[in-house]
Structure 1
Amino acid sequence: GHFSAFNLDVTEGVLKELDTSLRPIRVDISSSNQVISLEHGDVDLNAALAMTSQRMKRLDFVGPIASGALGFMVRAGDEGIKTLADLEGKAICAPDGSTGADIMTREGHLKDRLITLRDTHSCIESLKKKEVDVVVGDTLPLSALALEDTDIRIAPNVTIGAPSQYGIALPKGHSKDCIRLRDALLKYVASGKWLEAFRNRLPNTAQRANELQPSADQINARSCRD
């Protein structure tokens, strides 16, 4: 079916601010290959990649376009995950190479319960089949998926790790393009279009829109760094 997400809304909006006819063509890339696919030129942009210090050494970023903590998705009828302690003994799924997989691996008491699959959708299918108990991932895309599927829900108020910031990633060596994208993102956020896209895409998280909107200072500080 047609794929859509808040990160693609923002990326398309930023490209429109450039006054260009270019529009993104979606390519499926597994979580573990997102960085190398940019470095090898298999893709030109990644619409939302976590802006970690290691990745920022290898890629340029424009952002943040959003930020969010890692949360946990469960089956709709599962009320058993109320704290992190409730994860003990649970089979936890994360996309291979994702921030969620990295954090779960560092949590020594949980890593033995971690199962990695190709992507979030694979984890969700495994959850619905009761092959795993929990899916770990960024709360914003998980919230969007929960809006579309009544069989799954986000465990409320259960997060792990520091909130991650996500940006539009592009290969090193395109500094002029990076600056143009940064300026377009600043314009997009200042115009109110970011807030509009967020509230339309994530009505179940809309009350946090002002808190999660990136500031101009954040975008200038983290975009297009040498």
Structure 2
Amino acid sequence: MWNSGSPMSSCTAEELRMNAWRETRTRVTAALGALMLLATATACGEEAPTFLGRDRLNVAYKADQPGTSYWDGEKYGGFDQFIGAHVVDELGVKYAPRLLTSNMRETEITEGISDLVIATYSITETRAEDVAFVGPYAVTPQGYMVGPGNPDIDREEDLRDKRICTMGSTTAEESLVNRGLKKITMVTTASECVRLLLAGETDAFFMDKMILYGFQQNHPAEDLRVLPENAGQPQLYGIGLPKGHQEDCEQLKEIVKTYVRSSKWRADFEASLPDFTREHSNEVDQYRPNDTLVDKYSCVE
């Protein structure tokens, strides 16, 4: 209980104001000191992550390949885009997407325009002389797609005297030449081959089957058919990056290995190629690489 007889403070009003000011100053100084310690700890111990010496990467994709890598004017999509978003998220860096065509891929890397190229980019010995790869993150056979005007074409043998379209500066071009087919049209983009096919100006489109299935599902009314027969060598899709960054390359390799082992890999594949997955569900994992392949083809200097 408060005792009304207790002695009261003898401080003057001016002294009370000075005491209050000193207490406030002490608290503000302590708070500023704590903030400075926090800033120092962040600067010294928690620096922003970087990759290839950068905290923001330029990542290049294709623009015209539904199912694998495309830009529709508003958003990016396709399997390549899924893995690109995943790896930069795991690296903890920001990124800016870029668009390119097949004949630009090596130049984009060697001239420092793009830091990563994720564009249905097959790993080959020749390309690996100038570019480092991480992968594969997918393995696909090659094959043929025909249009509605060729119902009698069911296998490669039926194409011996037919017109074949493919993309230049790709492994598909090399495969066609080696297979002895003569009437070959080379174009810059996959969508141009599809346009020629739909217009009846070519009889078949030869390319990686992941790319073909993407176009087939994107044109459901045109009766495009991917022939069941495989042709050429399996293609190993890798992430291209500049040479001379072995530690960063090894870091990216571990991210890719974890990804291809995970359920996310199949979920991303199914989201990218739903028609193929629905019709060939038991074949999806044939497109998934294993750790042995990733170790063999990644970060070879």
For the criterion TM > 0.5, the same-fold answer is yes
Does structure 1 residue 213 correspond to structure 2 residue 213? no
Paired AA for residue 221 in structure 1: K
Distance 2:223 2:186 in 1: 19
**Shift in CA distance, 24/62, structure 1 to aligned 2, threshold 3 Å:** farther
Distance 1:7 1:81 in 2: 31
Check the 8 A contact 2:132/2:300 in 1, yes or no.
yes
If the length of structure 2 is used for normalisation, what is the TM-score?
A: 0.69
Other-structure match for 1:126: 196
Paired AA for residue 173 in structure 1: G
What is the CA-CA distance between 1:221 and the residue it aligns to? 1.9
* Structure 2: 5+ residue stretches without partners: 1-71
1:38 equivalent among 101, 109, 130: 109
Distance 1:35 1:100 in 2: 17
Other-structure match for 1:69: 141
Other-structure match for 1:14: 87
> Once structures 1 and 2 are overlaid, which stretch shifts more, 164-173 or 6-15?
6-15
The equivalences for 1:139-158 within 5 A come to 139-150=209-220, 151-158=222-229
Distance 2:165 2:235 in 1: 19
Check the 8 A contact 1:117/1:123 in 2, yes or no.
yes
What is the CA-CA distance between 1:19 and the residue it aligns to? 2.8
Other-structure match for 1:87: 159
Distance 2:193 2:159 in 1: 16
Other-structure match for 1:114: 184
Check the 8 A contact 2:212/2:226 in 1, yes or no.
no
1:119-156 per-position Cα deviation (integer Å, ceiling 9, x unaligned) = 10111111111111111110012111211112252333
What is the CA-CA distance between 1:211 and the residue it aligns to? 2.3
* Structure 1: 5+ residue stretches without partners: none
Does structure 1 residue 4 correspond to structure 2 residue 52? no
Three-state SS of the structure 2 residue aligned to 1:50 is coil
What is the CA-CA distance between 1:103 and the residue it aligns to? 1.1
What is the CA-CA distance between 1:107 and the residue it aligns to? 2.4
What is the CA-CA distance between 1:177 and the residue it aligns to? 2.3
Three-state SS of the structure 2 residue aligned to 1:25 is strand
Other-structure match for 2:97: 25
Distance 1:77 1:155 in 2: 14
Check the 8 A contact 2:216/2:226 in 1, yes or no.
no
Provide the identity percentage: 27
Distance 1:102 1:217 in 2: 26
Paired AA for residue 117 in structure 1: V
What is the CA-CA distance between 1:198 and the residue it aligns to? 0.7
Distance 1:4 1:185 in 2: 19
Other-structure match for 2:243: 172
Structure with bigger gyration radius: 2
Distance 2:96 2:247 in 1: 19
Check the 8 A contact 1:91/1:115 in 2, yes or no.
yes
Check the 8 A contact 1:73/1:153 in 2, yes or no.
yes
**Shift in CA distance, 171/125, structure 1 to aligned 2, threshold 3 Å:** same
What is the CA-CA distance between 1:82 and the residue it aligns to? 1.2
Check the 8 A contact 1:15/1:181 in 2, yes or no.
no
If the length of structure 1 is used for normalisation, what is the TM-score?
A: 0.90
Root-mean-square deviation (CA, aligned residues, Å) is: 1.7
Paired AA for residue 195 in structure 1: R
> Once structures 1 and 2 are overlaid, which stretch shifts more, 180-189 or 202-211?
202-211
